[in-house]
Copies of this chain bind each other. A is one copy, B any other.
Amino acid sequence: VKQVKLTVDDYVKGILAGNRMILSRAITLIESNASVHFAMAQEVIQKILPYTGKSMRIGITGVPGAGKSTLIEALGTKLCQQGHKVAVLAVDPSSTVTRGSILGDKTRMEQLSREPNAFIRPSPSGGTLGGLTRKSRETLLLCEAAGYDTILVETVGVGQSETTVRSMVDFFLLVVLTGAGDELQGMKKGVMELADAILVNKADGDNKQRALVTRAEYERILQFLRQATEHWTTHAYTCSAYTGEGIMDFWQNVVKVFMKQGFANGVLKERRKQQTISWVYTMIEEHLHNLFYRCPEIIKSKGEIEEDVINGKLSATLAVQQLIDKFAN
């Protein structure tokens, strides 16, 4: 069955009406690398911009096996049943290679995917981290315009993906397992410092006591770290994504308190503003980089100049000057 072609207005109206099929197709447009799609997608985004910004933007990270998906399923289903509209997105740079290691398989969130108020979208595959970031941010905006009031952005800790997700959400959650001792040693440096909360998962059955010990260990370490958000102290909590215990308490008493307080004291407004501005400047650096390395003059002379530097025939500073002169002319 051939799909009917949609105009920019079709997309905009469909998204604003909350049509999931059209939302899906608009995201596909954003994810496309074809320039004609790019231009159209930008028109759509430009038109839906005034309807964005009204959701809670929540990032969720944790090592594979920490139970992120189970947690998102339990939390998302509960929120949908309360009448919320929940979008679940993913940022996974490795999906270029593995073709979608997170959220790739919708059956992993079977219950949530049956909720009419839920929208689940796997990580776009292909392209650079910059491309992935643009696609994810723009997808988030489309979901907001479509009326989703809670956006959960899941990521695995590959490359710079945590920083990327942190740079597009209000609240950033780190999900961990018990047995922190070993895990902490292997944990990627700096991730704890990005988190607004640490949630020790699988606090159920025999594991409950260990989860409390782990929580205390994280609390101890948190004392030594910089805070992720001004006027907010990051703490560790426990929950069980499996039994559901602790999840809604956490949502109510931590996440919602954070959001309310953050909007009241201006921290979140400022964060979103800074996020947008620095996104603009990150994209500019990328474009400059591409302009330079795709410039025919540079492509032609780069190798030779590089050789001369390596062989000590040309100083590094003069090499740079020569290359920049070629580029600027």
Whether B291 and A42, one on each chain, are in contact in the complex, defined by CB atoms closer than 8 angstroms, is: no
Does residue A323 face the partner (Cβ distance < 8 Å to B)? yes
Query: Could you say how many copies of this chain the assembly holds?
Result: 2
Does residue A314 face the partner (Cβ distance < 8 Å to B)? yes
Does residue A328 face the partner (Cβ distance < 8 Å to B)? yes
**Residue from the list B284, B285, B320 in contact with A280, Cβ < 8 A:** B320
**Residue from the list B137, B185, B317 in contact with A283, Cβ < 8 A:** B317
Task: Give chain B nearest CB distance to A279 CB in angstroms.
Answer: 5
Does residue A313 face the partner (Cβ distance < 8 Å to B)? yes
Residues of B within 8 A of A317 (CB): 42, 45, 134, 138, 283
| Chain A: interface size category | 35 or more
**Residue from the list B189, B280, B291 in contact with A306, Cβ < 8 A:** B280
Residues of B within 8 A of A324 (CB): 284, 287-288, 291
Whether B320 and A276, one on each chain, are in contact in the complex, defined by CB atoms closer than 8 angstroms, is: no
Q: Residues of A with Cβ closer than 8 Å to B?
A: 42, 45-46, 49-50, 52-53, 134, 137-138, 185-186, 189-190, 224, 273, 276-277, 279-280, 283-285, 287-289, 291-292, 306, 309-310, 312-321, 323-324, 327-328
